Amino acid sequence: MYKKILHVEDSSQWRSHVANVLVPLGYQVTSFSNLTQAKQAFANEAWDVVICDGSVNGRGDGLDWADELYSQGQRVIVLAVFTRPRNQGISFIDKGEFNSDDLLRLVEY
């Protein structure tokens, strides 16, 4: 199953970690370190899933963007530590309890 995934995360370690889980399984993961770049890429291409840090660069703007995308029908997964999506329909993984199987289950959903 091939899916095109946009991942926005300010931590290079988390960008690498997510890619290391998904790319070997055939997923195409394109990662960005800030929302400006991610939003531009999102506007220019179609994506199967968006994985978004809930607090990009220490602000909650990742959650705002996740809400916006979800309201447009986009599949969104939020990875965060201290913040949770306001919309209960948005998939969420707590980084403190991260499990590769949970990520795969949500991506494949």
* CATH value at residue 82: 3.40.50.2300
pLDDT value of position 89: 86
pLDDT value of position 82: 74
pLDDT value of position 58: 59
Q: Is there a domain that residue 49 lies in?
A: yes
pLDDT value of position 15: 96
CB 75 within 8 A of CB 98: no
pLDDT value of position 49: 97
Whole domain around residue 91: which residue ranges? 4-100
Provide CB contacts within 8 A for 59, sequence distance 6+: none
Binned average pLDDT, 10 residues per bin, the chain of 109 residues: 89 95 96 94 97 79 92 94 80 92 92
Q: How many CB atoms lie within 10 A of CB 29?
A: 19
Structural domain count, the chain: 1
| Tokens, residue 7 | 């991942």
Output the pTM of the full model: 0.92
| Tokens, residue 15 | 């960008």
Q: Where are the beta strands (DSSP E) in 13-95?
A: 28-32, 49-53, 76-80, 91-94
Q: Is there a domain that residue 69 lies in?
A: yes
Q: Is there a domain that residue 108 lies in?
A: no
CB 76 within 8 A of CB 91: yes
